């Protein structure tokens, strides 16, 4: 991060009266003294301080600005956990917050976005019901100077660079390797237990980008386990009820199934319920794996009903995105390589599930992340991503999906890769990664 030599008058900021004086002059209503002093060490805040000395003024955004999370659907546990983590993160960072449910209706979601913009929201984070809506969202965000960010579904080959600086971040777990790894756990286990056999897939929603990425990873894993075969699949629509029905249908068609690859842990819960309804024992007669690392998924692994999950931690999406919004609303500007990011999931099995439960599930209200330390504004020198974070490779992420006619790599993205910035950001984030994703919570005493 850029460092600034502060003028002599700024060295008096250890005096609370001086701090209050400059806060009044800068009209920082709603900003705590602690946040104001933390921002003083960041380049954006240095510019704001300079305004008080008579230089061109740059406003300091109030951390009391409103952040809205508009979910594609709150009906599954992942989004419920994510919503709760946003509430905790925004409380720590000083934002007001609202979480909204679009009930898997893209038009409703866009209308909710426009309502939030009209009501003065400073930033909006999406789990899109329809990835194609990101173009319209980006246009409205730019027109109204509202920062937006997106997790999960999106429009392939459309990046923040085709939008504006107000589309600050698209971030997702790296899904191909994550779902490949959890599928490999299943195929290894059924090969050892049953000598191989038939596997079925219960997917998410047809055409959904995350569903496509996870399916690619799942399918690739079969290359290493020739005694297993994927015989059929049906969509579970990311929720337990539809997944139960889909699994019941698949088990009727294929009574000799020994394994199920579920596209997330809510889908896995539906599959487990269908196995039990068929008079079979999950974890014994049929093995099940999922994705995301929800509370019920982790508990099912602990009880033996589910074999594994690729845990990206729902709370981490909130931690990462809330930290980004805090930074950009306080003057920090991301490099090109920081506007498309992946984070690494953890494969959770019975061998390591207790540590995961302790930090992410049965944690007695102890938050799993230090939400403030993710911020580069609040922690310019010792910020910590608290997960393995690295630039997203769009060729890898959208492999197998046809590019639009005439599509070209965004100039900023291509230049970042050619100049070495892309690799430098990867190294920098790795160097700052101290609070490990699979360790204890940084907020846990002792």
Euclidean distance between CA atoms 420 and 410, whole angstroms: 16
Tell me how crowded residue 302 is: count the other CB atoms within 10 A of its CB: 17
Structure tokens at 205: 């929603």
Residues of the chain with CATH 3.40.50.2300: 66-172+314-345+364-432, 176-311
For residue 19, the model assigns a pLDDT of 52
Gap between the Cα atoms of 154 and 146, Å rounded:
19
Residue 51 has pLDDT above 90, yes or no: no
Q: Compute the distance between CA of residue 207 and CA of residue 79 in angstroms, rounded to an integer.
A: 20
Q: How many other C-beta atoms can be found within 10 angstroms of the C-beta atom of residue 46?
A: 20
- pLDDT tens per residue across span 110-166: 999 999 999 999 999 999 999 999 999 999 999 999 999 999 999 999 999 999 999
Q: Give the helix/strand (H/E) hosting 231.
A: strand 228-235
β-strands 340-343, 147-151: how paired?
Answer: unpaired
Q: Classify 66-172+314-345+364-432 by CATH class.
A: alpha beta
pTM, entire model: 0.86
- Average pLDDT in the chain: 90
Residues 11-48 pLDDT 10s: 444 555 555 554 444 434 444 555 555 444 443 444 44
| Cβ atoms of residues 342 and 392 within 8 Å | yes
Q: Tell me the per-residue pLDDT of 216-261, one tens digit each, with 9 for 90 and over.
A: 999 999 999 999 999 999 999 999 999 999 999 999 999 999 999 9
Hey, is 147 helix, strand or coil? strand
- Could you give the maximum distance between any two Cα atoms of the chain, in Å? 78
Cβ atoms of 329 and 42 within 8 Å: the answer is no
CATH class of the region 176-311: alpha beta
Predicted pLDDT at 118: 96
Question: What's the token pair of residue 388?
Answer: 């393995």
């Amino acid at each position: 991060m850029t460092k600034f030599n502060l003028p002599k008058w700024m060295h008096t900021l250890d005096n609370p009266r001086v701090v209050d004086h400059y806060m009044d002059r800068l009209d920082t209503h709603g900003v705590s003294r602690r946040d104001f002093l933390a921002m003083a060490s960041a380049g954006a805040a240095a510019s704001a301080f300079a305004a008080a000395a008579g230089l061109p003024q740059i406003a300091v955004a109030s951390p009391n600005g409103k952040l809205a999370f508009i979910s594609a659907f709150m009906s599954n546990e992942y989004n419920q956990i994510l919503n709760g983590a946003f509430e905790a993160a925004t409380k720590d960072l000083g934002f007001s917050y609202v979480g909204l449910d679009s009930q898997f209706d893209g038009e409703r979601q866009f209308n909710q976005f426009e309502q939030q913009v009209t009501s003065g929201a400073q930033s909006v984070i999406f789990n899109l019901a329809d990835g194609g809506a990101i173009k319209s969202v980006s246009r409205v965000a730019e027109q109204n100077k509202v920062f937006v960010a997106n997790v999960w579904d999106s429009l392939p080959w459309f990046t923040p660079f085709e939008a504006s600086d107000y589309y600050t971040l698209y971030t997702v777990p790296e899904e191909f390797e994550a779902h490949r790894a959890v599928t490999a756990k299943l195929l290894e286990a059924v090969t050892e237990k049953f000598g191989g056999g038939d596997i079925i897939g219960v997917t998410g929603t047809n055409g959904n980008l995350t569903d496509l990425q996870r399916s690619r990873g799942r399918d690739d894993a079969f290359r290493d386990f020739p005694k297993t075969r994927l015989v059929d699949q049906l969509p579970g629509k990311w929720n337990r009820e539809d997944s139960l029905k889909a699994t019941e249908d698949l088990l009727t068609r294929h009574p000799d199934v020994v394994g199920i690859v579920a596209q997330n842990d809510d889908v896995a819960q539906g599959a487990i319920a269908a196995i039990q309804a068929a008079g079979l024992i999950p974890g014994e007669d049929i093995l099940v794996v999922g994705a995301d690392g929800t509370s019920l998924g982790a508990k099912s692994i602990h009880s033996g009903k589910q074999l594994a999950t690729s845990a990206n931690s729902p709370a981490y999406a909130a931690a990462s995105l809330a930290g980004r919004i805090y930074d950009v609303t306080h003057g920090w500007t991301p490099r090109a390589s920081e506007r498309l990011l992946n984070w690494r999931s953890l494969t959770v099995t019975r061998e390591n599930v207790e540590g995961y439960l302790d930090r992410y599930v049965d944690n007695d209200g102890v938050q799993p992340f230090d939400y403030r330390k993710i911020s580069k504004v609040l922690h310019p020198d010792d910020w910590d991503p608290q997960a393995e974070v690295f630039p997203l490779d769009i060729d890898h992420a959208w492999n197998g999906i046809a590019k639009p006619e005439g599509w070209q790599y965004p100039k900023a993205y291509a230049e970042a890769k050619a100049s070495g910035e892309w690799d430098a950001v990867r190294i920098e984030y790795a160097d700052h990664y101290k609070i490990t994703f699979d360790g204890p919570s940084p907020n846990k005493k002792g």
